[in-house]
């Protein structure tokens, strides 16, 4: 059976990559940008790094800065109206997953107006036309939304997140510049970094995994494991490695899928507005324990990529435990909470969370078959006492 792999048309990596925006805009003949971002990135002059380049090149733009964490149906709707009013012909998404996902939703709806309600795009969207062109500028090292064919939107009226999967939404250009990430605070760096590790581990163990994606995900695990602690301390080399590592796994998991860590994390964000990276980071080791019997020898390679020594001398039980312990230690070292209770989850909500997790598109890719009762059991274990 043929296996599909979809990537950006062009990506730029490393210090100074953001300066390539003007050459791409000029080469592609774009006329006016709608910059999709959030107010904090404007306030802290992160967006200015992009607008200075456009100003210097005398390129036209407007800014839509209404994006918020866990972007909602209403935010996408507002963005669609802003794009129409602006007269723009392309977008520059500046930010982490939230601005990137918002831009994808806007771009798809503009060029596929029959899907004017973003809720109608849930699942594998049957769109016919490519999105409005997006240049995606990453400011966090975690979601890899700049290179994926997925976006996640929150339906606040129903307290649920839904995933849209659409090959037509991938940004045409990705800018992965560690300088754009240098202002991230420690907590955000830690959470988004653990989000990237979750992508790599889930992408490596998902039912859709195959050799090309496995190669990328194992390299991403190695890069993230060796660099996240340094990135949290804002060391340039750590930032650079994290920027690359999160992008590498993004190329992979976008094409093979994820698992029940994401299936369980999405409801946490919908119920409590929990940052996505934090939700994934807390859940990851508990789901790894749940999945371990269904992963063959893959946890040995995860342990190896995370720097565990002498894994070839270990029994299957030992290397599985070593991989999980390495994840737990990294999580603790960068200050991630260790239980759901610590991040404000209520025991009374666990059953509703489990039901929502079973409806999430990511859950179907999990290596171990899931049921509501099994997922509820993982939530209870992760809740802690």
Per-domain boundaries in the chain: 10-181, 186-383
CATH of domain 186-383: 1.20.1090.10
Fold: same for 10-181 and 186-383 = no
pLDDT in the model for residue 1: 79
Q: What is the token pair recorded at 286?
A: 């508990």
- The region that residue 123 occupies, defined by phi over 0 for left and psi between -120 and 50 for alpha, beta otherwise, is left
**3-state SS assignment for residue 200:** helix
Convert the pLDDT of each residue in 340-378 to its tens digit: 999 999 999 999 999 999 999 999 999 999 999 999 999
**β partners of residue 175:** 12, 137
Which residues make Cβ contacts (< 8 Å) with residue 120, sequence separation at least 6?
none
Cite the DSSP H helix spans in the chain.
21-28, 39-43, 48-56, 73-86, 97-111, 186-205, 211-232, 236-256, 260-272, 276-291, 298-305, 316-333, 350-359, 372-383
Please name the residue that has the structure tokens 């030992």.
Answer: 318
DSSP string, 30-51: --EEEEEEEHHHHHTTTTHHHH
CA distance 213 to 204: 7
**β partners of residue 155:** 160
pLDDT in the model for residue 160: 87
Please give the chain's pLDDT, 385 residues, in tens.
Answer: 799 999 999 999 999 999 999 999 999 999 999 999 999 999 999 999 999 999 999 999 999 999 998 899 999 999 999 999 999 999 999 999 999 999 999 999 999 999 999 999 999 989 999 999 999 999 999 999 999 999 999 998 888 889 999 999 999 999 999 999 988 899 999 999 999 999 999 999 999 999 999 999 999 999 999 999 999 999 999 999 999 999 999 999 999 999 999 999 999 999 998 999 999 999 999 999 999 999 999 999 999 999 999 999 999 999 999 999 999 999 999 999 999 999 999 999 999 999 999 999 999 999 999 999 999 999 999 999 6
- Beta carbons within 10 angstroms of residue 86's beta carbon: 18
pLDDT in the model for residue 200: 98
pLDDT in the model for residue 385: 67
pTM of structure: 0.94
pLDDT in the model for residue 157: 86
Closest CA to 6 of 243, 250, 259, 365: 250
Strand order in the sheet with 150-155: 123-124, 160-165, 150-155
pLDDT in the model for residue 312: 97
Out of 3.30.450.20, 3.40.1030.10, 3.40.50.1970, 3.20.20.80, select the CATH number for domain 10-181. Answer: 3.40.50.1970
CA–chain centroid gap for 332, Å, is 21
Q: What is the token pair recorded at 292?
A: 């371990």
CA distance 384 to 211: 36
Closest CA to 194 of 273, 151, 239, 141: 141
Q: What is the token pair recorded at 149?
A: 């064919």
CA–chain centroid gap for 260, Å, is 15
CB–CB of 213/221 below 8 Å? no
């Amino acid at each position: 059976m043929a296996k599909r792999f979809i990537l950006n048309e062009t990506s730029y990596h490393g210090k100074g990559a953001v300066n390539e925006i003007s050459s791409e805009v000029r080469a592609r003949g774009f006329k006016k940008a709608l910059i999709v971002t959030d107010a904090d990135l404007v306030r802290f002059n992160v967006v200015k790094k992009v607008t200075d380049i456009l100003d210097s090149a005398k390129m036209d733009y407007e800014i839509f800065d209404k994006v918020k964490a866990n972007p909602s149906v209403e935010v996408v709707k507002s963005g669609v109206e802003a794009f129409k009013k602006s007269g723009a012909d392309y977008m520059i998404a500046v930010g982490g997953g939230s601005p990137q996902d918002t831009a994808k939703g806007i771009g798809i709806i503009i060029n596929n107006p029959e899907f004017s309600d973003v809720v109608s795009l849930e699942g594998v969207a049957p769109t016919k036309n490519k999105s409005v062109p997006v240049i995606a500028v990453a400011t966090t090292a975690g979601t890899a939304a700049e290179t994926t064919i997925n976006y996640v939107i929150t339906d606040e009226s129903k307290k649920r997140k839904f995933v849209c999967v659409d090959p037509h939404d991938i940004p045409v250009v990705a800018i992965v510049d560690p300088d754009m990430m240098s202002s991230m605070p420690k907590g955000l760096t830690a959470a988004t970094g653990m989000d990237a590790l979750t992508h790599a581990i889930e992408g490596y163990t998902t039912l859709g995994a195959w050799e090309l994606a496995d190669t990328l995900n194992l390299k991403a695990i190695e890069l993230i494991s060796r660099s996240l602690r340094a990135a949290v301390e804002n060391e340039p080399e750590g930032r650079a490695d994290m920027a690359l590592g999160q992008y590498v796994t993004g190329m992979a998991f976008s094409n093979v899928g994820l698992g029940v860590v994401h299936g369980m994390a999405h409801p946490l964000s919908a119920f409590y507005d929990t940052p996505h990276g934090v939700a994934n980071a807390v859940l990851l080791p508990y789901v790894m324990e749940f999945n371990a019997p269904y992963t063959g020898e893959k946890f040995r390679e995860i342990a190896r990529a995370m720097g565990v020594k002498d894994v070839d001398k270990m029994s299957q039980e030992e290397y599985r435990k070593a991989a999980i312990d390495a994840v737990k230690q990294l999580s603790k070292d960068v200050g991630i909470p260790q239980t759901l209770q610590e991040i404000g989850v209520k025991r009374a909500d666990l059953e509703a969370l489990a039901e929502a997790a079973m409806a999430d598109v990511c859950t179907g890719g999990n290596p171990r078959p899931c049921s509501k009762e099994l997922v509820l059991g993982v939530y209870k274990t992760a809740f802690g006492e």
